[in-house]
């Protein structure tokens, strides 16, 4: 088992020279770590994995609108997850994004700008649970920065929510919506956690503690917790359990609310109730299949909607709290298993993490990768980082991570790749980078020494090593792996590039088959599978590296809505080739449209004839930009 006695798992140590230096400066600490060296787990690797995944998530953050595109409450949870990451690892690079969102989005906004509902100011709306998510996000920001503006905002939000606590229906509970139509688990689980967190951060408080204790007692007796100890979605109009799905985030917030209230009261009965909820979550006929947390919509004949994509991550946030609070090895083993399954089975070469943590997929319902699934899986990776922050870590990525080669009939194709290394710690690291490629391919350099000189954990340092990969014309179609291994004494990390060799272009958008061709997703979105769209000022760009001996090419897009399609040979100068001039929002103009790319075939630096195709919004003010479903190309060589 990879667990430490109390899940304060020690990390792999630094290089021998660094350890010697530590022994001089910090003899007690060095001796304690040296004593446990034979049983060290891979804490530095867990930290490095979380850093890679967090950076991928933040690449989708829109700094102008200060959110993650087109999802209001989901953005709150994603930012809170980044806050968890920073608090757990000491990395502080994304504090500015939290402040950016706070300052830009705290005002009043009409419906459709940041949420489907009008925003009433101070991150509140008729969606009471949405308001609570933002309250928890700003408490996380307060914990990170100690800036009172975040605590004050959380208090403002909680006061707003308290206006929807109503004892006249079902004896208590917070309404889910401003219209007071539904009392459910998530709104009340959030309320317990929010009020308990406020109490634990306000010296001398009794008000929020009383509200939290009242809410916990009501929730326990509400009937939403079924006979198996699992939390159904909510109550009927008759105030009975409605028998709807046991979603993981409902179970997670019940656990998380109880844990925060336990910290406030130290009441062992509360902790016992939390343990029953936890045991029910991972017991028979619960939320786990083959040891992996699995949502109902994770079945390979279903697809989770944009909300469901983030449920498991919320569960893991509070499961991490459970592990940290109880030091229970069984709970910790479950957490570790989620992180390992995500990293080993549910990750692509670009470091993107999917919705199904087993990696399961199907043709009709493929595994989905987007910023929501990234935020969800990141929570498990963050939880796997030791409480005692590793003194050093080493990570690496390759860019492009999913290059495409369309070989010519003869000769080789050259791919320029950047191997980026990053590290945290207090001593210089000298990492040996070695690269492995398929038989018959060549990589220059095959090995190199990378020097990194970190200065703590707050801002990881990085270094870039250019690689040249030469692919023979005889390479067979399909995916081929190039692996880079970095080794510094006591630290190891591997990263890959997934090279697609293709003699044709034919893919559905919004699926894994699209990824190698998607040169720049920018702020585009895919709401499920088999479509990608760009609303407002967003766009997305495909790159087609046609073979050097290509004489003509056509691409066909299945496209609808208010599209603007442009083509370029250099990704700088663009020519408009398709444009919808009517404001169509109902998909009635969906059709296959063919574009002649022959005029744009110019030999590039790698010997291919790359063509860039960009889709954007011809009416950016109404939010119905170009939506592409399928892409094919015909090539003449």
pLDDT of residue 10: 36
The Cα–Cα gap between 72 and 82 comes to 16
pLDDT single digits (tens) 137-146: 999 999 999 9
Q: φ and ψ at 85, to 5 degrees?
A: -60, -45
User: Which range scores top for mean pLDDT: 118-127, 403-412, 546-555?
Assistant: 118-127
Q: Which of the residue ranges 114-118, 322-326, 489-493, 529-533 would you say has the lowest mean pLDDT?
A: 529-533
> What integer is the mean pLDDT of 93-97?
98
> What integer is the mean pLDDT of 481-501?
96
For residue 33, pLDDT over 50 is answered with no
Domains in the chain with CATH codes: 393-501 (2.60.40.2310), 505-636 (2.60.120.380)
pLDDT single digits (tens) 578-633: 999 999 999 999 999 999 999 999 987 777 899 999 999 999 988 899 999 999 99
- What order do you get walking across the sheet with 429-436 strand by strand? 404-405, 491-501, 478-488, 429-436, 447-452
Percent of the chain predicted with pLDDT > 90? 84
- Which residue, among 464, 631, 604, has the nearest Cα to 546 in the 3D structure? 604
pLDDT single digits (tens) 56-67: 999 999 999 999
Question: Please, where are the H alpha helices in 283-349?
Answer: 311-326, 329-345
pLDDT single digits (tens) 350-373: 999 999 999 999 988 999 999 999
Query: Any residues with CB less than 8 A from the CB of 535 and at least 6 apart, and which?
Result: 70, 525, 617, 620, 623, 624, 625
Query: Any residues with CB less than 8 A from the CB of 13 and at least 6 apart, and which?
Result: 19, 33, 34, 37, 40, 391, 392, 490
Q: Which of the residue ranges 159-163, 428-432, 500-504, 601-605 would you say has the lowest mean pLDDT?
A: 601-605
> What integer is the mean pLDDT of 543-549?
92
Provide the 8-state DSSP code for 225. Answer: B
Q: How far is CA 35 from CA 22, 30, 39, 286, 389, in A?
A: 14, 8, 9, 41, 18
DSSP 87-148: HHH---TTHHHHHHHHHHHSSEE-TTTSSSSPEEBTTB-SBHHHHHHHHHHHHHHHHHH--H
Q: How far is CA 332 from CA 23, 249, 281, 460, in A?
A: 31, 19, 14, 27
b (16+ CB within 10 A) / e for 272-282: ebbbebbebbb
178: confidence class by pLDDT, cuts 50, 70, 90: very high
523: confidence class by pLDDT, cuts 50, 70, 90: confident
pLDDT of residue 26: 33
Structure-model confidence comparison of residues 407 and 280, the more confident one: 280
pLDDT of residue 528: 61
pLDDT of residue 31: 33
Neighbours of 522 (CB within 10 A): 18
Is the pTM of the predicted complex or chain greater than 0.85?
yes
- Which residue, among 591, 606, 590, 598, has the nearest Cα to 633 in the 3D structure? 598
Q: In DSSP terms, which residues pair with 505 in a beta bridge?
A: 633
> What integer is the mean pLDDT of 294-311?
96
Query: Any residues with CB less than 8 A from the CB of 85 and at least 6 apart, and which?
Result: 50, 51, 54, 91, 94, 378, 382
Query: Any residues with CB less than 8 A from the CB of 183 and at least 6 apart, and which?
Result: 169, 170, 173, 174, 175, 176, 222, 234, 235, 239
Contact 175, 126 (CB under 8 A): no
For residue 445, pLDDT over 90 is answered with yes
- What order do you get walking across the sheet with 518-520 strand by strand? 518-520, 540-546, 609-617, 563-568, 575-579
Contact 169, 231 (CB under 8 A): no
pLDDT single digits (tens) 254-265: 999 999 999 999
pLDDT of residue 199: 98
Torsion of CA 182, 186, 192, 196, to 10 degrees: -140
For residue 35, pLDDT over 80 is answered with no
């Amino acid at each position: 088992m990879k667990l430490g006695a109390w899940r304060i798992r020690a990390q792999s140590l630094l290089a021998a020279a660094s350890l010697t230096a530590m022994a001089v400066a910090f003899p007690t600490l060095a001796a304690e770590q040296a004593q446990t060296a034979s049983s060290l787990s891979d804490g530095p690797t867990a930290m490095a994995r979380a850093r890679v995944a967090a950076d991928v998530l933040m690449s989708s953050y829109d700094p102008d609108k200060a959110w993650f595109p087109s999802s209001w409450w989901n953005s709150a949870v994603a930012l809170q997850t980044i806050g968890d990451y920073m608090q757990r690892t000491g990395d502080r690079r994304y504090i500015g994004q939290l402040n950016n969102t706070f300052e830009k989005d705290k005002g009043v906004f009409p419906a459709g700008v940041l949420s489907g509902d009008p925003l009433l100011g101070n991150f509140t709306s008729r969606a009471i649970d949405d308001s609570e998510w933002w309250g928890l996000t700003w408490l996380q920001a307060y914990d990170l920065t100690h800036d009172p503006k975040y605590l004050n905002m959380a208090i403002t939000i909680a006061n707003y929510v308290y206006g929807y606590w109503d004892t006249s229906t079902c004896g208590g509970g917070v309404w889910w919506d401003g219209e007071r139509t539904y009392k459910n688990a998530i709104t009340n689980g959030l309320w317990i956690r929010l009020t308990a967190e406020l109490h634990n951060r306000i010296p001398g408080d009794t008000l929020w503690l009383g509200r939290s204790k009242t809410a916990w007692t009501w929730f326990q007796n509400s009937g939403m917790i079924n006979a198996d100890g699992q939390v159904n979605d909510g109550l009927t109009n008759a105030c009975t359990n409605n028998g709807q799905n046991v979603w993981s985030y409902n179970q997670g917030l019940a656990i998380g609310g109880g844990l925060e209230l336990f910290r406030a009261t130290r009441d062992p009965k509360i902790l016992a109730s939390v343990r029953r909820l936890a045991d029910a979550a991972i017991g028979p006929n619960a939320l786990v299949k083959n040891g992996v947390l699995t949502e109902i919509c994770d079945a390979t004949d279903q697809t989770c909607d944009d909300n469901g994509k983030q449920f498991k991550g919320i569960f893991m946030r509070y499961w991490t709290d459970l592990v940290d609070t109880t030091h229970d090895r069984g709970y910790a083993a479950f957490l570790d298993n989620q992180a390992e399954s995500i990293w080993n089975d549910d990750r692509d070469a670009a470091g993107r993490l999917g919705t199904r943590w087993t990696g399961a997929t199907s043709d009709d319902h493929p595994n989905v990768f987007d910023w929501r699934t990234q935020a969800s899986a990141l929570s498990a990776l963050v939880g796997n980082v030791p409480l005692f922050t590793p003194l050093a870590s080493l990570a690496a990525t390759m860019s492009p991570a999913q290059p495409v080669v369309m070989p010519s009939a003869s000769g080789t194709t050259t791919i320029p790749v950047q191997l980026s290394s990053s590290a945290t710690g207090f001593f210089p690291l000298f990492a040996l980078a070695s690269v492995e490629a398929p038989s018959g391919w060549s990589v220059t350099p095959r090995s190199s020494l990378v020097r990194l000189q970190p200065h703590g954990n707050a801002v990881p340092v990085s270094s870039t090593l250019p690689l040249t990969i030469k692919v023979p014309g005889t390479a067979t179609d399909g995916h081929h792996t190039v692996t880079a291994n970095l080794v510094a004494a006591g630290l190891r990390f591997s990263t890959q590039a997934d090279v697609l060799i293709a003699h044709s272009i034919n893919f559905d958008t919004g699926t894994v088959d699209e990824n190698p061709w998607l040169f720049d997703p920018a702020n585009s979105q895919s709401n499920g599978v088999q479509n990608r769209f760009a609303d407002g000022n967003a766009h997305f760009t495909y790159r087609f590296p046609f073979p050097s001996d290509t004489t003509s090419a056509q691409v066909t897009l299945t496209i609808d809505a208010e599209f603007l399609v442009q083509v370029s040979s250099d990704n700088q100068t663009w020519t408009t080739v398709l444009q919808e001039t009517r404001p169509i929002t109902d998909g009635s103009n969906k059709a296959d449209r063919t574009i002649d790319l022959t005029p744009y075939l110019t030999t590039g630096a790698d010997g291919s004839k790359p063509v860039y195709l960009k889709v954007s919004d011809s009416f950016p003010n109404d939010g119905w930009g170009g939506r592409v479903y399928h892409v094919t190309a015909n090539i003449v060589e």
